[in-house]
């Protein structure tokens, strides 16, 4: 259970909730479903709305969201899987990042006979630098999207590993749900348990997270790319665990959030987490830093970590497949939370 603290005591303007209400009422946070803000490990603010929602592509109708309502977190799932890999690695259950990945999928030895594929390592999957053909630019509604095609495949791992090689691995970041699927497969194989069961016992239960759902593909395997459904409170709990290195080894947190490959506009990718530049573009000395790490999912799902502020912000929204998916989260941060910081 979260211990609550009033905004003033947490270093925010006392009218923080009113500022957020005004943002929503003025229509400047389109599709916002939920916001949870924690600081110093305590709950500062939460707000829930009402709107049309989906579980993957299955319509749920209009939902009245609340503290216990599970929500798709879509590709934020990838970042959770990255944390699970670190927990399994500390227990000696999964290969080190520098190991060849095909060594751990021995049923696909024919693919390992290709020198280009034999060079693929676990780290290439963790950093999305596999160099394999992958396209998620189409809507997540049909097999034109590589992730959806993977979820429909008879063998998701072969589907990923046999994609055409388009560039040398390790050189360039290319967004890939297939990369996360491989990491999820390594966890399941190494622990001898389905991904969702390992997650329940190794991460969720120790953090007090008792309610979750993990969507599966047509093969019945939990989607490591986008299948997790959590309440925003529990999403924030995972973010706080990263800041506190609780359950997740501190050494793995440091490795995960270390910039490893450029993505866009000064941002980077770590191990299945987006890594920020550490300061807001154009900021002046003494101003609040930009997010240090972010997990992001289709529809506007966001988990922001500000380690130097000991601040976690979880956002859920319904802008699935929309052009401006981050509009609500960006407005919450830039127009409400960061301007309201007083310390």
End-to-end alpha-carbon separation of the chain, Å? 25
What is the pLDDT, as a whole number, of residue 37? 98
pLDDT tens digits for range 202-256? 999 999 999 999 999 999 999 999 999 999 999 999 999 999 999 999 999 999 9
| Cβ atoms of residues 187 and 95 within 8 Å | no
For position 284, what pLDDT does the model report? Answer: 52
Handedness of CA 221, 223, 229, 234 (dihedral sign): positive
Position 287 scores a pLDDT of 53
Q: How confident is the model at residue 322 (pLDDT cuts 50, 70, 90)?
A: confident
User: What are the angstrom distances between the C-alpha of 171 and each of 131, 192, 222?
Assistant: 8, 32, 29
- Residue 248: helix, strand or coil by DSSP? coil
pLDDT at residue 72 greater than cutoff 80:
yes
Please report the pLDDT score of residue 103 as a whole number.
97
Q: What is the pLDDT of residues 277-307, one digit of tens each?
A: 765 545 555 555 578 999 999 999 999 999 9
Please give the pLDDT value at position 274.
97
Look-up of token digits 């590709």:
75
Query: pTM of the prediction?
Result: 0.96
Q: What are phi and psi of 312, to 5 degrees?
A: -125, 135
116-156 confidence digits (pLDDT tens):
999 999 999 999 999 999 999 999 989 999 999 999 999 99
Backbone angles phi, psi at 314, to 5 degrees: -110, 130
Pairwise CA distance, residues 301 & 76, whole Å: 7
| % of the chain with per-residue pLDDT over 90 | 90
CA distance 273 to 275: 6
- Asked if residue 343 has pLDDT above 90, the reply is no
The pLDDT, as a whole number, for residue 337 is 96
pLDDT at 24 over 80: yes
Give the residue among 231, 256, 229, 228 at the shortest CA–CA distance from 242: 256
40 pLDDT above the threshold of 80: yes
Where does the pLDDT of residue 265 fall: very low under 50, low under 70, confident under 90, or very high at 90 and above?
confident
Q: Tell me whether residue 53 is exposed, middle or buried, using C-beta atoms within 10 angstroms of its C-beta: 0 to 12, 13 to 18, 19 or more.
A: buried
How confident is the prediction for the chain on average, in pLDDT?
A: 95
- For range 84-90, the mean pLDDT: 98
Which tens digits make up the pLDDT trace of 177-189? Answer: 999 999 999 999 9
Phi-psi region of 272 (alpha: psi -120 to 50; beta: other; left: phi over 0): left
* Percent residues over pLDDT 70 in the chain: 96
DSSP helix/strand/coil, 32: strand
Report residue 264's pLDDT band, with 50, 70 and 90 as the boundaries.
confident
Taking phi first (over 0 means left), then psi (-120 to 50 degrees means alpha), and beta for anything else, what does residue 159 get? Answer: alpha
Within 153-274, where are the H helices?
A: 156-161, 177-191, 195-199, 232-244, 250-256
Please give, one letter per residue, the 3-state secondary structure of 157-168: HHHHHCCCECCC
pLDDT of residue 291: 85
């Amino acid at each position: 259970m979260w211990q609550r603290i009033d905004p003033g005591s947490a270093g925010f303007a006392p009218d923080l909730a009113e500022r957020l209400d005004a943002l929503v009422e003025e229509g400047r946070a389109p599709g916002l479903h939920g916001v949870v803000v924690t600081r110093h490990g305590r709950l500062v603010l939460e707000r829930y709305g009402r709107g049309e929602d989906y579980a993957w592509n299955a319509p749920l109708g209009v939902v009245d969201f609340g503290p216990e309502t599970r929500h798709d977190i879509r590709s934020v799932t990838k970042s959770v899987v990255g944390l699970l890999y670190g927990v399994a690695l500390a227990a000696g259950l999964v290969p080190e990042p520098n190991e060849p990945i095909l060594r751990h999928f021995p049923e696909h030895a024919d693919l390992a006979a290709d020198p280009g594929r034999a060079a693929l390592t676990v780290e290439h999957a963790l950093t999305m630098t596999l160099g394999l053909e992958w396209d998620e630019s189409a809507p997540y509604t049909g097999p034109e999207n590589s992730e959806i095609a993977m979820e429909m495949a008879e063998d998701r791992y072969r589907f990923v590993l046999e994609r055409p090689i388009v560039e040398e691995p390790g050189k360039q970041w290319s967004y890939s749900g297939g990369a996360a699927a491989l990491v999820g497969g390594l966890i399941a194989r190494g622990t001898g348990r389905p991904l969702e069961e390992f997650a329940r016992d190794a991460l969720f239960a120790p953090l007090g997270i008792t309610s979750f759902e993990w969507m599966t593909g047509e093969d019945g395997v939990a989607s490591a790319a986008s299948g997790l459904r959590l309440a925003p409170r529990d999403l924030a709990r995972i973010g706080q665990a990263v800041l506190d290195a609780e359950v997740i080894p501190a050494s793995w947190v440091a490795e995960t959030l270390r910039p490893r490959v450029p993505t866009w506009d000064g941002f980077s990718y770590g191990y299945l987490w987006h890594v920020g530049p550490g300061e807001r573009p154009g900021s002046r000395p003494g101003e609040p830093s930009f997010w240090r790490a972010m997990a992001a999912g289709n529809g506007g799902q966001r988990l922001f970590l500000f380690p130097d502020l000991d601040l976690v912000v979880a956002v859920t929204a319904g802008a699935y497949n929309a052009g401006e998916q981050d509009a609500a989260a960006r407005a919450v941060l830039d127009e409400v939370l960061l301007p309201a910081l007083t310390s």
